[in-house]
Amino acid sequence: MEWSDLIRTRHTSFAWEDKTIPRDVLQEVLTEVYEHVPTKNLKFPYIITVYRNNVPEIRKEIATICHRNKDMSIEEDRGNPQVLAPVLFAFSLRDYKKEEQIWQQTYTMTAKNIDAYGRVEIGVVATFLMLALTNRGIQTGFCQNIGQGDDTGRPAEIFGTDYPVRLIIGAGYGKDAEGWHSYIDPRTGTERKIPFPPAKLDAVYDRPDFDKIFKFKGYENE
């Protein structure tokens, strides 16, 4: 897919077709990302668990953990249906300090620094993964509302990792971005609308002015 088509095709998906992603496609995507994503000193300070999201009881638990609005009840909350995708990628940081010390005996990074740096790298690899999936006609939806900051450890148990889950990406064959689709919320067993049609994002949130986000320095005479 051409770059211009790729970035125009990509959107956050909340509604999914009932179709899973073949294992060989997932392997191909992950291999591509692994071989090309930038990472400091090839440390890959994260673990990405690929989870087949097909167990109803666990789907309900994940949806409950990823409650959308803390100030709303389950009955009022529209949820984060991106975590109901047929495949979930769970991102956690891993302890790579011993690997780093092989080349750097005097190690001065604090736990806070390591955590902050690792989160930056999760953002980088998540973007590569998102684009690699989009290039194959697979849509994604990001979710960071994992326990609303209450790190109980249950997400780590579900995804089989020894470290807290920092980010979940749902992936699958998404329904069209224009439609305000409905889904069955496993928390209540009722049908409800997705939070908003992805194509209507600008009608939900205000986009800051371009010049507020992007700054040029040293180009004053051009």
CB-based contacts of 167, cutoff 8 Å, min separation 6:
90, 91, 122, 126, 142, 143, 144, 146
Q: How confident is the model at residue 114 (pLDDT cuts 50, 70, 90)?
A: confident
Residues 26, 31: Cα–Cα separation, whole Å: 9
pLDDT for the residue numbered 146:
86
What total number of domains does the chain contain? 1
Domain assignment of residue 43, yes or no: yes
Domain assignment of residue 156, yes or no: yes
Average pLDDT, the chain: 91
Is pLDDT of 35 > 90? yes
Would you say 65 and 138 are in contact if contact means Cβ atoms under 8 Å apart?
no
Q: How confident is the model at residue 99 (pLDDT cuts 50, 70, 90)?
A: confident
Domain assignment of residue 153, yes or no: yes
Is pLDDT of 151 > 60? no
- The CATH number linked to 137 is 3.40.109.10
pLDDT in tens, 42-74: 889 999 999 999 999 999 999 999 999 889 999
Q: How confident is the model at residue 95 (pLDDT cuts 50, 70, 90)?
A: confident
Percent of the chain with pLDDT over 70: 93
Domain assignment of residue 221, yes or no: no
Quote the pTM value: 0.92
Residue 46 is part of which domain span? 3-213
Can you tell me the mean pLDDT for 173-197?
Answer: 95
Domain assignment of residue 48, yes or no: yes
Could you tell me which of 133, 121, 134 has the C-alpha nearest to residue 38?
121
